[in-house]
Amino acid sequence: MSHLFHSLRFRLLAASTLIVLLLFLGMLWNTARALHQISVDNMRVSIRQTAEALNLAIAPHTSTRGLRAIQAYVDELVNGEADTRIVYVALLDENQHVILHTPGAPLPLPDTSRPLEEEINTGVVHASQRILLDAGKVGSLHYGLSTTLYKRTLNKVVTQNMVGLLIALVLFMTLIVVVGLNVNRRISRLIVASKALAQGDLNARAQVDGRDEIAFLSKLFNKMAQSIQERMADGEARRAEISALNEQLEQRVAERTADLQDMVSGLESFNRTVSHDLRGPLTGIGSLAQLSIEALERGDDSLARKFLPVIAKQSGATTDMLNSLLLLARVGEADLKRTSVALDAMVKEVIEQIAMSDTTRAMPQIIMHKLPLVQADPDLLRPVFVNLIGNAVKFTAQSKAACIEIGAQPQTGEDLIIYVRDNGPGFKPDASDKLFKPFVRLHGATYTGHGVGLSIVRRAVGRHGGRVWADGMPGRGATFYFTLPDSGTHQI
């Protein structure tokens, strides 16, 4: 109830009702006042007309002293049906003594000097006028006029006006209620929409029709709500974009951090390699070259012929190591340029390249499953297969019924998983994290190599946004996996 009293709609309705009531009472009072004034004016006319009529009827008889005729006339005038407004008539001589009067005349006669506005409400209006009597004497004629007819007429007119005003009041109040309910309904819609918007419902709209101020306010509210919704949507999109950029930045930072860690680890391994794997061969090359020169100076070319193949072999190994280091650096610095790559064709070319690189070595059995078409950088993807397949060929050289399997697993989400499996010597499970570090060789000098190939694989796959891992058991072979996320592959 308190909420209703503080409502603007209740105040407007109460104010409208009060104003209408005041207007109604004012109009009723003004109508009654006007009718009263009309009655007074009419009574004055009646008094004047009655006075003239009585004077004309009585004056001739006063000169002949026909008082009986006058008495009969006035009795007939009061008691007859000629004019029911005359209540009484009295004739006074020059000394103001009553000569004659009709039955019912108030004696003594009332004062006729009272204002007509006061007497008209008493029921009888008293009036007097001078009249010429016999022998030139001047008397006075007193009479009373009934105001019943005027009051009846006044009451009738007032009643009719009150009924008309009441009907107008009811119609006006009905109109106010109807308009108020309509305004209340439309304002309520606007209030409901405003509350919904304030509570976070950005789809809230005020469904108000029409062309008035409320409809105009509703349109402005809907435009404001639409603008807020668009700004919030734009803000959400920007926040999502910023969040995505932050995620990308974090991913890049993580990738760069991993690259830096690899670089630091690589530099440490590089120092060891340079100090051991490179310094040793280079020192040996230098020593053998010097011995060959001294032997040639003595004219002994047999020693030079013996040392030169060794020098060439050491130089080739050193060159291979330097090429691997250069390839590792290029993989980490090259720009990623994705294009459509047919993995079947690329893997076949890599197998042929490995087979032709050493014709004296027997190739193991290679089982190649159907591989899809992917979106990748062929210059970065080729070293991945070269090193994985090359390692599988190298490590199965001493295996009976050597076999290598290459394939792709069905997609999980957007990541395509490719694997290279061999039945070589394998490795201990706890050593899987060391495989991809530069210059790490789990099998020592048993197998040739520099320990850089798997580092190249991990860096190249990482440039594509993927990851690489390996499973293996000693004597049961190894399987190397890598993923190509968002590669746009065709189904296998």
Q: Give residue 444's pLDDT.
A: 46
Q: Cβ distance 378 to 346 under 8 Å?
A: yes
What is the mean pLDDT for each group of 10 consecutive residues in the chain (492 residues)? 58 75 79 75 76 71 66 73 72 83 83 77 81 74 80 77 79 77 77 81 78 78 83 82 84 73 60 57 72 77 75 67 59 73 92 82 87 88 88 83 87 78 84 64 51 79 86 87 71 48
The whole-angstrom separation of Cα 88 and Cα 385 is: 142
φ/ψ region of 96 (left if φ > 0, alpha if ψ in -120 to 50, else beta) reads left
Name the one residue in this structure whose structure tokens are 């108000």. Answer: 208
- Phi first, then psi: what are they for 407, rounded to 5°? -165, -175
Burial per residue of 448-460, b for 16 or more beta-carbon CB atoms within 10 angstroms, e otherwise: ebbbbbbbbbbbb
Distance between CA atoms of residues 212 and 70, nearest Å: 78
DSSP label at 80? Answer: S
How far is 56 from 463, CA to CA, in rounded Å? Answer: 136
- What single string gives the DSSP state of each residue in 35-70? HHHHHHHHHHHHHHHHHHHHHHHHHHHHHTT-HHHH
User: Residue 302: CA atoms inside 13 Å, Cβ hemisphere, count?
Assistant: 1
Read off the tokens for 460.
């190249």
- Only one residue has tokens 């974090």, namely 250
End-to-end Cα distance, the chain: 73
* Residue 112 contacts residue 142 (beta carbons within 8 Å): yes
Q: What is the pLDDT of residue 443?
A: 47
Q: SS3 for 208?
A: coil
Contacts of 379 (CB under 8 A, 6+ apart): 334, 337
Distances (CA, A) of 372 to 250, 365, 407, 440, 490: 31, 22, 10, 32, 6
Cβ-contact 478, 427 below 8 angstroms: yes
Selection from 256, 277, 378 nearest residue 322 by Cα: 277
For the chain, the residue count is 492
What is the spatial distance between Cα 247 and Cα 118, in angstroms, rounded to a whole number? 100
User: How far apart, in whole angstroms, are the C-alpha atoms of residue 490 and residue 201?
Assistant: 43
DSSP E strand boundaries for 304-423: 339-342, 365-368, 373-376, 403-412, 415-422
pLDDT given at position 106: 84
Return the amino acid letter for 281: P
- State how far the alpha carbon of 63 is from the alpha carbons of 58, 73, 438, in Å: 9, 15, 161
The residue among 6, 13, 9, 22 whose CA lies nearest residue 175 is 13
What distance in Å separates the CA atoms of residue 145 and residue 51, rounded to the nearest whole number?
11
* DSSP letters for 139-190: EEEEEEEE-HHHHHHHHHHHHHHHHHHHHHHHHHHHHHHHHHHHHHHHHHHH
Gap between the Cα atoms of 110 and 127, Å rounded = 9
- Cα–Cα distance, 349 to 95 (Å, whole number): 160
